[in-house]
């Protein structure tokens, strides 16, 4: 009778509305129960630990970049080339210590022939400069893995769609590049310094040559900061391997050749300031306290200005490339 009345009048009774509401509530509870069961089966747990600040995301990002580089066989080949120089000096320092313990005269002869094992600041400076040459080759190919792949394959879009700002991404990538530089230059130099001091059978070497540690850390910081900024800026604009390697070679091969040529033609040392690697070496020499020539002391502020200016230009060129990425949140 109720259904006939609804068909004739077009109105529904309150009883059907309550039945419909009860059915909807039952279905909702059953769906919620199914969702809880699915979550329980997937073994999800609520986060009970303390939330960390957002800036700490830079460290996992840097660690991820290092793992990407460590997977490449080319990296281990270049790292092996860098290790050859380190192992040679490590063995030479050990042999010198053994010889000096038996015959000090032979040790003085070895110091006169091999300036790289004298334990002075210039020995570590020359070692880090030689290591930096191999490091530049390593960074030329690592830039495509660390930064170029993010621009070409959408990794940058994925990172920026997370709860992280653009400067978090930049800082994380800079840390990964800096870690590669420190791994091949600063860490081996500190190991050689520690070895040389321990083989002297006295703490006087560490006490009298504490400035060497400052020089190693300072030179390493200059190389890590300048090379990281330059590589990230170039890799963001040239994400593929061949254009990146060519642009990297222009900075460290072509520009030094042009600077040396212009310096000879115009008889002006200021043209050598376009040699970016030479400017970094000059700052490293100053960190060791070995910059004694007057003409080098005059050029030091100019070299520091060029390195700082290049870093600023790299930052200004980097952020437009990152902000141009379209991110849907």
For 201, which DSSP code?
Answer: T
Q: Give the integer Cα–Cα distance in Å for 24 and 18.
A: 10
The CA–CA distances, whole Å, from 202 to 2, 117, 194, 196, 213 equal 106, 18, 12, 10, 17
Kindly report which listed range (68-82, 159-173, 247-261) carries the lowest average pLDDT score.
Answer: 159-173
Q: What's residue 9's pLDDT?
A: 46
4-7 — which CB contacts under 8 Å span 24+ positions? none
pLDDT > 90? residue 308: yes
The CA–CA distances, whole Å, from 99 to 3, 58, 168 equal 112, 48, 52
The mean pLDDT of 138-153, rounded to a whole number, is 81
Tokens 């860490």 belong to residue: 187
Name the residue with higher pLDDT: 322 or 316. Answer: 316
The CA–CA distances, whole Å, from 83 to 68, 116, 125, 185, 187 equal 20, 16, 16, 10, 12
**Tens of pLDDT, residues 184-202:** 999 999 999 998 888 877 7
The CA–CA distances, whole Å, from 51 to 21, 35, 179 equal 41, 26, 26
Furthest-apart CA atoms within the chain: distance in Å: 123
The mean pLDDT of 213-230, rounded to a whole number, is 92
Contact 259, 272 (CB under 8 A): yes
Q: What's residue 19's pLDDT?
A: 66
Q: What's residue 221's pLDDT?
A: 93
The CA–CA distances, whole Å, from 329 to 162, 166, 315, 319, 326 equal 8, 14, 25, 20, 10
Q: What's residue 42's pLDDT?
A: 55
Output the CA torsion sign for 301, 305, 307, 311: positive
Rg (CA), the chain: 31
pLDDT > 60? residue 44: no
**Tens of pLDDT, residues 110-129:** 656 566 667 777 888 888 88
Domains of the chain, by residue range, sit at 60-323
Q: Closest Cα partner for 306 from 249, 259, 244?
A: 259
**Tens of pLDDT, residues 262-306:** 888 888 888 888 889 889 999 988 988 877 788 878 888 999 999
């Amino acid at each position: 009778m109720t259904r006939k009345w609804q068909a004739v009048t077009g109105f529904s009774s309150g009883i059907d509305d309550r039945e419909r509401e009860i059915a909807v509530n039952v279905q909702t509870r059953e769906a919620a129960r199914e969702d809880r069961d699915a979550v329980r089966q997937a073994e999800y747990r609520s986060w009970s630990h303390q939330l960390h600040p957002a800036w700490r995301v830079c460290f996992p990002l840097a660690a991820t970049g290092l793992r990407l580089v460590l997977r490449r066989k080319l990296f281990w080949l270049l790292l092996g080339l860098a290790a050859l120089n380190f192992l040679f000096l490590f063995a030479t320092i050990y042999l010198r210590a053994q010889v000096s313990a038996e015959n000090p005269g032979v040790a003085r002869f070895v110091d006169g022939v091999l300036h790289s094992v004298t334990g002075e600041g210039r020995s570590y400076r020359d070692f880090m400069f030689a290591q930096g040459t191999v490091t530049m080759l390593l960074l030329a190919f690592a830039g495509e893995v660390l930064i170029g792949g993010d621009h070409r394959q959408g990794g940058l879009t994925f990172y920026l769609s997370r709860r992280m700002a653009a400067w978090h991404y930049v800082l994380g990538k800079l840390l990964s590049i800096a870690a590669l530089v420190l791994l091949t230059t600063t860490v081996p130099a500190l190991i050689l310094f520690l070895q040389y001091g321990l083989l002297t059978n006295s703490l006087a070497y560490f006490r009298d040559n504490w400035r060497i540690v400052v020089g190693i850390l300072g030179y390493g910081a200059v190389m890590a900061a300048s090379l990281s900024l330059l590589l990230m800026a170039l890799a963001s604009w040239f994400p593929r391997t061949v254009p990146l390697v060519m642009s990297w070679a222009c900075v460290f091969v072509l520009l030094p050749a042009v600077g040396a040529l212009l310096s000879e033609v115009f008889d002006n040392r200021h043209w050598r300031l376009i040699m970016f690697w030479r400017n970094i070496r000059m700052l490293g020499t100053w960190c060791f306290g070995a910059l004694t020539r007057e003409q080098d002391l005059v050029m030091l502020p100019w070299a520091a200005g060029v390195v700082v200016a290049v870093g600023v230009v790299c930052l200004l060129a980097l952020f437009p490339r990152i902000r141009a990425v379209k991110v849907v949140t």
